[in-house]
Amino acid sequence: MDFGPHLMLASLEGAVISAILVLTAMGLSIVFGVMRVVNVAHGEFYMLGAVLTWFITSIVGGHPAIGFVAAIVVAPLLVGCLAAGADRLILKRVNYDPDRTIVATIGMLYIIQQTTLMSLGPDARPVEAPFNTRLSLPWFEWGENGFAMIWPWGLSTTSYKLFVIAAAAMVLVALWLVLTRTKVGLLMRATQQDSETAQAFGVPVGKVYSWVFGLGAGLAALGAVLVVPIQQAHYLMGHDPLLLAFIVVIIGGLGSLPGTVIAAILIGMSDGIISVFFSPTLAKIIATFLVAMVLVFRPQGLLGKIAR
């Protein structure tokens, strides 16, 4: 393949990564924005979503699409409930003290991960995609016969990957509508701005926190449900998404939702493109280092405000 088609393929891969990343990072960003909690266990909620998808699709049987639809509804709900329960049981009791919540969520990380290891074992579990038609993509080139459309070998994607991108976009729009147009969104925004004043005005801050923590975890799980037909479910799979989501949230600006979306697209695309053209380890080294440097010189991120 020439450089052009190669680049197009890389950007398509990047778009899929961005789509998953935007959901995962959004969950982390909402939790941080509203609750000021750095949820280190976020990656494990993602992993749980993937593992549950495998579990549900393997019970349901029949056409893979039936199991997948069941999983896309049930898995995020279950994970969300679990997270809300953890919030009530643990985070609430430490009064959302920043240092202690980090330690507590590190603890939750190991509890969830190791419980999965004990019940599922160390093997990776594949999930069949509900539909997976191969689509060849055209490439336009200025050749000897003038402008022509060619179908380069290897330049193709699958219908499922396109679906992932569309689904992520739809979820984002829905989320935006909920946050800006509904009463629930209003309560969340009020809590985010000033939880004490909100409480004084009768906002049930404790409940909002549980809901938000559940919602954040549910978004991570939803991202995982979408990714699992492309990757495989494994008990250690939460590690990379956690780091990437952290990077995205920080680069975007802690607590800034539009910043998170922009950063997710930026990072997802560059991750996809860099790892096609360069050695993946080197790409990761450069990326992690750059992120650290962005944070050093611009601690508030791209769109964040300086808040102390």
Partner 1 sequence: MTDNSKSNLMHIGVLVVLFALFFILPVYHAGNMSRIMVLAVYAMGFNLLFGYTGLLSLGHAMFFAAGMYGFGLTTNLGGLPVPLAFGFGVICAGVLALVVGFLALRTIGVAFMIVTLMFAQTAYLVVLYFGTYTRGDEGFVIQQAQRSIAGIDLTSETGRYFTALLIFGICFLLIARLVQTPFGKTLVAIRENEERTRMLGYDSHRHKLKILVISGLFSGVAGATYALLFGYVGATFATVQYSIFPLVWVLLGGAGTTIGPLIGVFFMFYLINISSGFTDAYMLVVGVVLVLLTLFAPHGLAGLLRKKVLTWLP
- Which positions touch partner 1 (CB under 8 A)? 38, 90, 93-94, 98-104, 106-115, 117-118, 122, 239, 243, 246-247, 250, 254, 279, 281-282, 284-285, 288-289, 291-293, 295-297, 299
Task: Please say which residue, 69 or 283, places its beta carbon nearer to partner 1.
Answer: 283
Task: Please say which residue, 108 or 273, places its beta carbon nearer to partner 1.
Answer: 108
Nearest to 82 by CA among 224, 210, 243, 223: 210
Q: Taking the CA of residue 10 as centre, how many other CA atoms within 13 Å lie in the half-sphere pointing to its CB?
A: 17
Distance of closest approach, residue 187 Cβ to partner 1, in angstroms: 25
Task: Please say which residue, 116 or 157, places its beta carbon nearer to partner 1.
Answer: 116
**35: Cβ contacts below 8 Å, ≥ 6 apart:** 91, 96, 209, 212, 213
Distance of closest approach, residue 213 Cβ to partner 1, in angstroms: 15
Distance of closest approach, residue 29 Cβ to partner 1, in angstroms: 13
Report the C-alpha gap between 299 and 184 in whole angstroms. 30
Report the C-alpha gap between 134 and 137 in whole angstroms. 10
Which class for 289: exposed (0-12), middle (13-18), buried (19 or more C-beta within 10 A)? exposed
For the chain, first and last CA: distance in Å?
51
Task: Please say which residue, 150 or 292, places its beta carbon nearer to partner 1.
Answer: 292
3-state helix, strand, coil in the chain (%, to 5): 70, 5, 20
Distance of CA 285 to the CA centre of its chain: 21
What residue type is assigned to position 280 of the chain? P
Task: Please say which residue, 104 or 168, places its beta carbon nearer to partner 1.
Answer: 104
Distance of closest approach, residue 36 Cβ to partner 1, in angstroms: 9
Distance of closest approach, residue 282 Cβ to partner 1, in angstroms: 6
Both tokens of residue 12? Answer: 């398509």
Residue with tokens 């961005």: 18
Task: Please say which residue, 111 or 203, places its beta carbon nearer to partner 1.
Answer: 111
In Å, the largest CA–CA distance within the chain is 74
Task: Please say which residue, 63 or 305, places its beta carbon nearer to partner 1.
Answer: 305
Distance of closest approach, residue 298 Cβ to partner 1, in angstroms: 10
User: Is residue 116 a contact partner of residue 51, using CB atoms and an 8 Å limit?
Assistant: yes
Task: Please say which residue, 32 or 211, places its beta carbon nearer to partner 1.
Answer: 32
User: Is residue 1 a contact partner of residue 152, using CB atoms and an 8 Å limit?
Assistant: yes
Distance of closest approach, residue 194 Cβ to partner 1, in angstroms: 19
Distance of closest approach, residue 289 Cβ to partner 1, in angstroms: 5
